[in-house]
Amino acid sequence: MKKIVIIGGGIAGLSAGIFAQKNGFESIIVEKHHTLGGECTGWDRQGYHIDGCIHWFVGTKEGTPIHDLWTTVGALDGVEIYHPESFMAVEHDGVTVNFYRDLDRLKSSWLGISPEDKEEIEEFCSDIKRLHSFSVPAGKPLDLMNPIEKIKYIFSMKDVGPIMQKYGKISVTELAKKFKHPALREAIASFMPEGDYGAISVLFPLGTFTSGQSSIPKGGSKALAKRMVERYLSLGGTVEASCEVVEADIKGGTVKGIKCTNGKRFEADYFIAACDAKVLYEKLLKGRYPDLEFEKRYNNPDTYPLASNIYIGIGYEGEMNDVPRTLKFPVETVDINQNQKPIEHLQMTHYGYEPNFAPEGHTVITFAINQFEPELDAWEALIKDKEAYAKEKMRIGEAVIDAMETRFPNKKGKLKLLDVATPQTYVRYCNAYRGAFMGFWPTISGKSLNHTGRIKGLDNMLLSGQWLQPPGGLPVAVITGKDTIMRICKKEKQQFVTS
């Protein structure tokens, strides 16, 4: 029986481990943290549970390939799905713009706000609807398809292809400017920060949401990852937690073993790096096996931006039944920067649909504030002064509570700060380069990366995870974990087993 060592116990690593076991390999997952799941996680503070990952989850629609994959790895076994009525609500100058799940309701509500935008609204909704026939492909990766399979794949993209071309050539800002009403412009523009970000970043999430392909698994991110861990262990997999890999032992183009900070060493026939790509190439491989495609992206952050976030958890002594699950509201005096400018909105998500996340009658609330290159530099410098770093976290948390009390005066005195995570939190716990929670963000000038995970010069190590395909995230992680085992099976000349 061939042995596979998997470096990293996030969603990609767990997916790889599950399919390794299903296909007759002996596998072990070696994980830095004491808890598996990577960035698909959550944590408890003061009697509340802060969900640190899932804002919407692609793969909740039965009968789609990605749903079947999530079911196979145990992520959705016996799980109730919560279907919020809106993806997000955005407030602007007394007007609330809702991105409803029901596309007809979305169109009707927008026409009620701005009849003069009828043509633009109808075109926008029609293009979203064209994406309803698209399902995230979760079968063979392109490099393993035969010619007939490639033709079928291309044909399956016939509806989404024109939409990708249309919206891949304009920015989110340009899309927003097509609308006359300032509230509609603001709502669309708020999807991404000002810059070169492609408008397809607006269309795809709304396409999966309004088609029912993305919703929220009850129980949250940590519980989802735990179900995958249980599935992996039930198949005979092994876990070595609290064990950070620091070096690969390489001889003659073959990885012989890996070394960990605690002195442990693991040997195998194959090694899967289901970890951060930067960590793999620079730390584990010591820069000896560079990848030009990744280097180009790391060296051009304007064209291939990375993002992390400040994540604030707040406990509220009350319920939020009359507030949309995710609400973006304007702020005027919050001293928190994004792309070197003070933020103009705060995005709030409440978990009123998760009664076990808070004491009875209470609600846990999170705020996510994206951070880009300038701010990531600042956080890297600030953490060197632990006292200053802690003070800045507290200042930000208090500023967000002040802003929330300004927007919701009836909640004054009923809010308490639970925790503040920063980009450096993701670095500390997940070894995420610059704290990135996704892959490279899609821009108009950037070229989409579709990487096989193969490492030039090494014959038995592959990269897996969200860095291989844009935009990253959980679907890419679970798919590439599977794909990596498919590639190993092909090399071993054995049939890949799905279930």
| Residue ranges of domains in the chain | 3-41+57-79+217-302+444-491, 96-211, 308-435
Strand partners, 265: 259
Q: State the Cα–Cα distance between residues 418 and 362, nearest whole angstrom.
A: 13
Q: Which of 53, 468, 487, 41 is nearest to 280 (CA)?
A: 468
How many Cβ atoms sit within 10 Å of the Cβ of residue 387? 7
Q: What is the predicted pLDDT for the residue at 244?
A: 97
Q: What is the predicted pLDDT for the residue at 448?
A: 87
CA max distance for the chain? 68
Q: State the Cα–Cα distance between residues 348 and 355, nearest whole angstrom.
A: 18
* Tokens standing for residue 354: 């998760």
Q: What is the predicted pLDDT for the residue at 435?
A: 96
| C-alpha dihedral sign at 363, 338, 335, 392 | positive
Q: What is the predicted pLDDT for the residue at 159?
A: 78
Q: What is the predicted pLDDT for the residue at 333?
A: 82
DSSP-derived secondary structure for 314-343 = EEESS--TTS-SEEEEE-SS---EETTEE-
Q: In whole angstroms, how far apart are CA 80 and each of 61, 101, 216, 219? A: 12, 18, 9, 9
The model carries a pTM of 0.96
Helix (H, G, I), strand (E, B) or coil at 47: coil
Tens of pLDDT, residues 24-48: 999 999 999 999 999 999 999 999 9
Neighbouring C-alpha atoms within 13 Å toward the C-beta of 486? 20
Q: Which amino acid is at 197?
A: Y
Q: What is the predicted pLDDT for the residue at 196?
A: 87
Q: What is the predicted pLDDT for the residue at 442?
A: 85
Is domain 3-41+57-79+217-302+444-491 classified as CATH 3.50.50.60?
Answer: yes
* Tokens standing for residue 433: 């380069």
Q: What is the predicted pLDDT for the residue at 316?
A: 98
How many Cβ atoms sit within 10 Å of the Cβ of residue 228? 27
Q: What is the DSSP letter of 3?
A: E
Tens of pLDDT, residues 317-335: 999 999 999 999 999 889 9
Q: What is the DSSP letter of 198?
A: B
* Tokens standing for residue 181: 């009403």
Side by side, which strands form the sheet with 270-273? 238-240, 26-30, 3-7, 270-273, 461-463
Contact 338, 371 (CB under 8 A): yes
How many Cβ atoms sit within 10 Å of the Cβ of residue 410? 8
Tens of pLDDT, residues 53-74: 999 999 999 999 999 999 999 9
Q: What is the predicted pLDDT for the residue at 46?
A: 97
Contact 210, 132 (CB under 8 A): yes
Which residues does the chain have with pLDDT short of 50? none
- Report the mean per-residue pLDDT for the chain: 95
Q: State the Cα–Cα distance between residues 262 and 365, nearest whole angstrom.
A: 38
Side by side, which strands form the sheet with 214-217? 57-58, 214-217, 81-82
Q: In whole angstroms, how far apart are CA 416 and each of 326, 374, 405, 420, 481? A: 19, 29, 11, 12, 39
Helix (H, G, I), strand (E, B) or coil at 44: strand
Q: What is the predicted pLDDT for the residue at 156?
A: 81
DSSP-derived secondary structure for 392-440 = HHHHHHHHHHHHHHHH-GGGTTSEEEEEEE-HHHHHHHH--GGG-SSSS
Q: If 0-12 CB within 10 Å is exposed, 13-18 middle and 19+ buried, where does residue 451 land? A: middle
Contact 437, 465 (CB under 8 A): no
Q: State the Cα–Cα distance between residues 172 and 164, nearest whole angstrom.
A: 13
Q: If 0-12 CB within 10 Å is exposed, 13-18 middle and 19+ buried, where does residue 375 land? A: buried
Spell out the residues 6+ positions from residue 251 whose beta carbon is closer than 8 angstroms to its own. Answer: none
Q: What is the predicted pLDDT for the residue at 160?
A: 85
Q: State the Cα–Cα distance between residues 410 and 318, nearest whole angstrom.
A: 10
